């Protein structure tokens, strides 16, 4: 047992993190374009103005994907590149760019997977209240319609939102991400509700205007939970912890069920409805119906997890990480078990074919004296995580894995200080170089994980 014959091995990026060309050919501004201008927001004063210059170098990037053997490429469309104001008039040059990228991918036998929203909220929409304005549901729907009309003759795989936990939680609660606001809790629940409705509306529009049968999904995130032992009570404790609400209200967005139960089960979790009752907007049956518009696949971005056991009091408790626990360059814990238990628990609850839409690590990568980029930590990380995923693949309907990221890129508020790529980018020269892990991943793809 292992990965199915048609398992999809991919890599992922997002528009602002790689494209650059922020002022070119009619692109409008989005919240990150504006946010990076203010000193103090981004490490080292960095910005995505040039990023990986993918806008001009996408052909080279596609050829690198082909060399690695990548079967599918998950990328996002910059909403403000195709609709500079977020609604209304279309920027045809933006459409031409994505058309050319899609054609180049297909020519090279790489399947495009489009994410509609990976945080590039058009500034004009932000000015009108952004996620707080209920009109965003229709604006996002119209944007989805445009994407379906223009690209779905060639593209059949779509994800609506990437990590709403982050664009609401980091953008509007902690203020670490654009637009950098610390909003009242009440507002953030309203934004979350509108975002979920926007997701539902986009699903409808993709279906209505799709030129063929489309596979539509959703790509939230969250830390996973895994049991300390395989004793039934520990497994149950980990399951409960995974779907529980966050006990810290200012961090409420970090949970799975508030974001996924409505989409896949048609209701918000009871625990959350009780806990957050004072902050909730009006929620109607009609809203819930829209949010639960059926999707085909479920995507989850998984980077790590927490170890859980059943406490003596019959309540799940977190097992403290040991001193000196393994961590990545960005200090995220290395917990391969997250890629077995996470998918398994998610599948048990939601019963949807699953993709891992992101997973990977940042390392302190450098070009060595021999001119190559050796990243044994990344290969080790991937070997451990993918082995766990392989176990899950034997038990659930798992469709694919997208490595984050294809190449080093602009890591949001951390600027270029974190390198997540299989491909090294020299930002001074824009030279790309495959890291050792890219060659290793090539073998994984070729053997469909037999070498794990
Ligand atoms: C995820 C984001 C992605 C990237 C990785 C490291 O949360 O979706 O854009 O920042 O983390």
pLDDT at 138: 98
Note whether residue 246 is domain-resident.
yes
Q: Which of 193, 234, 215 lies closest to 318 in space, CA to CA?
A: 234
- To the question of pTM greater than 0.85 for the whole model, the response is yes
Enclosing domain of residue 49:
8-447
163 is catalytic: yes
Considering the domain boundaries, does residue 110 fall inside one? yes
User: Is residue 411, in this structure, part of any structural domain at all?
Assistant: yes
Judged against a pLDDT cut of 90, whether residue 125 lies above it is answered with yes
Average of pLDDT values for 361-380? 98
pLDDT at 54: 99
Catalytic residue among 163, 337, 388, 411: 163
Would you state the pLDDT for residue 202? 99
- Confidence label for 86 from pLDDT (cuts 50, 70 and 90): very high
Report the greatest alpha carbon distance in the chain.
63
Q: What is the dihedral of CA 258, 261, 262, 263, to 10 degrees?
A: 120
Look at residue 1 in the predicted model and tell me its pLDDT: 73
CA of 284 to the centre of ligand 1 (A): 32
Q: How confident is the model at residue 154 (pLDDT cuts 50, 70, 90)?
A: very high
Contact present, 342 and 303 (Cβ < 8 Å): no
Question: Is the pLDDT at 290 greater than 80, yes or no?
Answer: yes
pLDDT by residue (tens digit) across 170-202?
999 999 999 999 999 999 999 999 999 999 999
358 is catalytic: yes
Residue 379 Cβ < 6 Å to ligand 1: no
Name the residue at shortest CA distance from atom 5 of ligand 1.
Answer: 404
Write out the two tokens for 83.
């609709």
Tally Cβ neighbours within 10 Å of residue 294. Answer: 12
Residue 168 lies in a domain: yes
Ligand 1 contact, 14 CB (< 6 A): yes
Is residue 2 included in any domain, yes or no?
A: no
Domain count, the chain: 1
- Residue 256: band (very low, low, confident or very high) from pLDDT cuts 50, 70, 90: very high
Q: Is the pLDDT of residue 421 over 90?
A: yes
3-state DSSP assignment of residue 285: helix
Rg of the chain over all Cα atoms, to the nearest angstrom: 21
For the chain, how many residues are written? 452
Is 212 inside a domain boundary? yes
pLDDT, the chain, mean: 98
Residue 30 confidence (pLDDT)? 98
The token duo for 258 is 């508030």
Residue 452 belongs to a domain: no
pLDDT tens digits for 209-247? 999 999 999 999 999 999 999 999 999 999 999 999 999
Instruction: Check if 404 has its Cβ closer than 6 Å to any atom of ligand 1.
Output: yes
For ligand 1, whether the C-beta of 408 sits within 6 Å is no
Residue 1 in any domain: the answer is no
Cis peptide before 158 (omega within 30 of 0): no
Query: Is there a contact between 10 and 72 (Cβ–Cβ < 8 Å)?
Result: yes
Expressed in angstroms and rounded, the spacing between residue 349 Cα and the centre of ligand 1 is 24
**Region 289-314 average pLDDT:** 98
Q: Tell whether ligand 1 has an atom less than 6 A from the beta carbon of residue 420.
A: yes
| CATH code of the domain covering residue 189 | 3.20.20.80
At 378 the pLDDT is: 98
d(C-alpha 200, C-alpha 208), whole Å:
12
């Amino acid at each position: 047992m292992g990965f199915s014959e048609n398992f999809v091995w991919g890599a992922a990026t997002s528009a602002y993190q790689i494209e650059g060309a922020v002022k070119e050919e009619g692109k409008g501004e989005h919240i990150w374009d504006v946010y990076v201008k203010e000193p103090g927001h981004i490490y080292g004063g960095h910005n995505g103005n040039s990023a990986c210059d993918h806008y001009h170098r996408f052909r080279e990037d596609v050829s690198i994907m082909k060399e690695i053997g990548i079967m599918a490429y998950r990328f996002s469309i910059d909403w403000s590149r195709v609709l500079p104001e977020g609604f209304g008039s279309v920027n045809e040059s933006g459409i031409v760019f994505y058309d050319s990228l899609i054609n180049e991918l297909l020519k090279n036998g790489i399947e495009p997977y489009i994410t509609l929203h990976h945080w590039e909220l058009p500034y004009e929409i932000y000015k009108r209240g952004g996620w707080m304005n209920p009109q965003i549901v229709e604006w996002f729907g119209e944007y989805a319609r445009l994407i379906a009309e223009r690209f779905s003759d060639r593209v059949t795989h779509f994800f609506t939102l990437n990590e709403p936990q982050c664009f609401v939680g980091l953008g509007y609660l902690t203020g670490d991400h654009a637009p950098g606001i610390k909003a009242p809790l009440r507002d953030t629940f309203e934004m979350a509700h509108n975002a979920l409705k926007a997701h539902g509306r986009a699903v409808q529009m993709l279906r209505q205007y799709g030129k063929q049968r489309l596979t539509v999904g959703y790509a939230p995130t969250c830390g996973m939970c895994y049991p300390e032992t395989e004793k039934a009570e520990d497994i149950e404790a980990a399951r409960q912890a995974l779907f529980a609400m966050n006990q810290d209200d200012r961090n409420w967005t970090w949970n799975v069920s508030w974001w996924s139960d409505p989409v896949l089960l048609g209701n918000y979790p009871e625990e959350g409805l009780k806990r957050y009752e004072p902050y909730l907007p009006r929620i109607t049956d009609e809203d819930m119906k829209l949010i639960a518009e059926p999707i085909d696949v479920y995507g989850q971005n998984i980077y790590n997890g927490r170890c859980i056991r059943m406490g003596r009091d019959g309540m799940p408790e977190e097992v403290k990480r040991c001193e000196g626990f393994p961590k990545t360059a960005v200090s995220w814990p290395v917990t391969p078990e997250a890629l077995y238990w996470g998918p398994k628990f998610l599948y048990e609850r939601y019963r949807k074919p699953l993709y891992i839409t992101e997973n990977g690590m940042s390392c302190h990568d450098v070009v060595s004296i021999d001119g190559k980029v050796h990243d044994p930590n990344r290969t080790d990380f991937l070997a451990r995580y993918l082995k766990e995923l392989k176990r899950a693949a034997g038990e659930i309907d798992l469709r694919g894995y997208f490595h984050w990221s294809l190449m080093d890129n602009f890591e949001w508020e951390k600027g270029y200080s974190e390198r997540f790529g299989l491909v090294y980018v020299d930002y001074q020269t824009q030279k790309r170089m495959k890291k050792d892990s890219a060659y290793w991943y090539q073998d994984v793809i070729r053997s469909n994980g037999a070498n794990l």
